[in-house]
Structure 1
Amino acid sequence: MHPDQLEPALAALAAEHRLRQRHALHSPQGPRVNIDGRDYLAFASNDYLGLANHPALKRAMQQAIEQWGVGAGASELVAGHFAIQQQAEAALADWVGCEAALVFGSGYAANLGVITSLVGRGDAVFADKLNHASLNDACVLSRADFQRFRHSDLAHLEALLQKTPARTRLIAVDAVYSMDGDEAPLRELLALAERYDAWLYLDDAHGFGLLGEGRGALVEYALHHPRVVYMATLGKAAGVAGAFVAGSHALVQWLVNTARTYIFTTAHPPAQAAAILASLQVMQQEGWRREQVQQHILTLRQFMQDKSLRLLSSRSPIQAIIIGTNEAAVGMAAALRERGVWIPAIRPPTVPAGTARLRVSLSAGHTAGDLAALLAALQQVAR
């Protein structure tokens, strides 16, 4: 874009109610936050289990800083792989039932690094239309033939697979879709991957910590298979930061040697690994957190049954209320903020045009009283 075009382009976004602004958070992440100097009851974070400010995670990180310091200094292949990082990767692999795991700086970096290391020119990659932007970027940058199939449409995907001449194929999907909250037909997708000799790349950013008693979609649907490459983020239900990819020893060794977003970046702080280990321990010991989330989901969905607002079908903590126009969604979010409730208005290009929405994100940190306050605010605003 030419420098002279920046201001007009920003003005155009504002006119379409698509201009986004950052808001200053003056508190730890949690169900109650202080944003721009005002207190809110928040339903915006992906901190599904309420671990982002958990005492055990904070304590583990503080102690690790004393032992391991703050920075890593360089990439792990250059300056060394912290022993505590190795311990965290082994624990993650064990938690999801895989041979090995590799931690990345973010889910975006994991998707980009893994997909571009497995497919390239002359190969083909098939992606669900509602995949996360990071998956789409990874598919484009892989330089493979990039084909998108209609959302969870197995027949459309199979038709595309039948036509491809590519020797190496990869199917990429979200386990739980971040803006709708629905789930991919994973068993059926694996059957197609077997039939058409393809990898199945599974982005479980919003299922890890919740599905499969916290072990994720891989365990929930018994998907352990040499064709499956599993990725989960650690900054959502796990309450920390980063992401990991799990699979066979050979797969992880291949990624260590070829995944550019792993090789050509400074390693993450070693204290992050300590927090990951603490998070896994809490997930294992405090199953009531997942039960609490499920109760909140049931409460919200029962309330919405006889309301005029359109709630998408989802058994996940992601509960999307479709509003329609950008202006209406922004106005509704503003009306909720006036009542002390923070829910983001999600607009294009994150979601398709005409489906702007309120994305309600539920957490184990919310109480029954918090849900009652949310429902009262929604009732008022809907009128």
Structure 2
Amino acid sequence: MSIDSWLSSRLDKAKGAGVYRTLRTMNGPPIPEGTMNGKNQTVWSSNNYLGLANHNRLISAAQAALQQFGAGSSGSRLTTGNSIWHEKLEKKIAGFKRTETALLFSSGYLANVGVLSSLPEKGDVILSDQLNHASIIDGCRLSKADTYIYRHIDMADLEEKLRETQRYQRRFIVTDGVFSMDGTIAPLHQIIALAKRYHAYVIVDDAHATGVLGESGGGTSDHFGVCPDIVIGTLSKAAGVEGGFAAGSAVIIDFLLNHARTFIFQTAIPPASCAAAHEALDIIEASKDKRELLFSYIQIIKTNLKHMGYTVKGHHTPIIPVVIGDTRKTATFAEKLQGKGIYAPAIRPPTVAPGESRIRLTVTAGHSIRDIDHLLEAFRSIGKELNIIP
């Protein structure tokens, strides 16, 4: 059998199971109303939480840096890819996250893999939340340390596993700050309290919390008023640009610079992206207006969906998972939404557990009340049509 025939049979199985995926093409900037595959759609799946990705100040900052530094970085940070903008942005991130310093990676995925594959050693153990992001899972797999999985945000189970792992040299607890599929918030204050009691280190992936949670938008640490050992994050969500980072003590960051393979061997993000991200953090720090608008939208949508009879997961975050359950019915629901000009994709196994297929809504400050009314009316009519709600 040829490789194409073999892989085609595997793809056919995915199609039969309702988990086959295809790409969609956006024909404009990342705004709520745009053209996708040639059709007008209101997008409810963007991570552009504060609507900054096409903000004039970010575009102007990127254009100025683009003129000065060119389109690409030309190499890794340790060869020819380091610029003053990379260093300025790292200083900005450290101040924003209230750490000694920070290190830029080319994506949040690479930051997670780099930290987890280089920091814990053989003889150490990583305690990882059951619903952590794929990048954390991959980092754990590449680590020489053992990995224990604790039940999702279950502090009793985490404590039990901390007791069980006292024989290891070191214990590392790793968790998402906001979980991307369930919209739940890790109880970071409780995790850090347990870490102190059982002599563990805490690593938080704050990808979906950075710019959103906390008094100043600083993320999960800001939200709970605590300081984990390492904060990992991305600039591709609320900040609206690209790139990832790790923030912590000067010693930790120096270690990562010298040992994290996903930093050492990865081409640096362009200086223009750094300049835009720096501007985004300025905007986030300067005003609460976008965050306050965002959270008012979240409240409206969750309250109405629950009132209709939907199973809505998550805490008070821009990620609103509406559980449908059946994989095929969820895919049909997403198709019917698109027919009404709404793009909110079906999330199916293996991304979520069997029986947990859902429409995952993400809310942004760029949406309008009119968009919300349209969304809610679509959920009401489709839900009744498919006998999901009464």
Matched residue type, 1:77? L
Gaps of 5+ in 1: none
Find the aligned partners of 1:149 and 1:12 in 2 and give their Cα distance: 31
Aligned partner letter, 1:168? R
Asked if 1:123 is matched to 2:124, the reply is yes
Q: Give the superposed CA RMSD.
A: 1.3
Q: Name 1:220's counterpart in structure 2.
A: 223
Displacement of 1:340 in angstroms is: 0.5
TM-score normalized with structure 1 length:
0.97
Question: In structure 2, what is the equivalent of residue 47 of structure 1?
Answer: 48
Residues 29-68 of structure 1: pairs in structure 2 closer than 5 A: 29-68=30-69
| Alpha-carbon distance in 2 for matches of 1:178, 1:305 | 20
- State the aligned residue count: 381
Taking the aligned partners of 1:308 and 1:217, their CA distance within structure 2 comes to 30
In structure 1, distance between residues paired with 2:313 and 2:72: 43
> Could you tell me how far 1:286 is from its partner in structure 2?
3.6
3-state DSSP of counterpart to 1:359: strand
Letter in 2 for 1:222: G
1:318 aligns with 2:315: no
Structure 2 matches for 1:1-383, cutoff 5 A? Answer: 3=3, 4-79=5-80, 81-164=82-165, 165-212=167-214, 213-224=216-227, 228-383=229-384
Report the CA distance between 1:221 and its aligned residue.
Answer: 1.3
CA contact (8 A) 2:188 2:221 kept: no
Q: Output the CA distance in 1 between the equivalents of 2:339 and 2:287.
A: 35
Amino acid at match of 2:184: D
Between the aligned partners of 1:80 and 1:111, the Cα distance in structure 2 is 21
For residue 96 of structure 1, report the CA deviation from its aligned partner.
1.4
| 2:211/2:219 contact within 8 Å kept | yes
**Letter matched to residue 129 of structure 1:** Q
- Structure 2 CA distance for aligned equivalents of residues 101 and 125 of structure 1: 22
Q: Secondary structure of the equivalent of 1:199?
A: strand
Return the alpha-carbon distance in structure 2 between the equivalents of residues 40 and 330 of structure 1: 17
Q: After TM superposition, where is structure 1 displaced by more than 3 Å over at least 4 residues in a row? A: none
Deviation at 1:302, TM superposition (A): 2.0
Query: Distance in 1 between the 2:130 and 2:25 partners?
Result: 33
User: Amino acid of the residue matched to residue 157 of structure 2?
Assistant: H
Pairwise CA distance, 1:143? 2.4
Whether the aligned pair in 1 keeps the contact of 2:81 and 2:268 (CA below 8 Å) is: no
Larger deviation, residues 105-114 vs 305-314: 305-314
Q: Is the 8 A contact 2:239 2:280 kept in 1?
A: yes
> 2:388 corresponds to which residue?
none
- Cα displacement string for residues 204-263 of structure 1 (whole angstroms, at most 9, x for unaligned residues): 1111101112111112212225xx210111100110011111111111111111111000
Aligned-partner Cα distance in 1 for 2:81–2:21: 40
* Amino acid of the structure 1 residue aligned with 2:211: G
Question: Unmatched 5+ residue regions in structure 2?
Answer: 385-390
For residues 203 and 342 of structure 2, the distance between their equivalents in structure 1, rounded to whole angstroms, comes to 36
Equivalent residue letter for 1:188: Q
CA offsets 1:166-188 (integer angstroms, 9 cap, x no match): 10211110111101101111111
Give the C-alpha shift of residue 80 in structure 1. 5.4
Alignment partners' CA distance in 2, 1:305 and 1:330: 21
Letter in 1 for 2:227: H
Query: 1:76 aligns to what SS in structure 2?
Result: coil
The whole-number CA distance in structure 2 between the counterparts of 1:251 and 1:98 is 11
| More off after superposition, 72-81 vs 132-141 | 72-81
Report the more deviating stretch, 363-372 or 154-163: 154-163
SS at match of 2:227: coil
**How far 1:2 sits from its partner (Å)?**
7.8
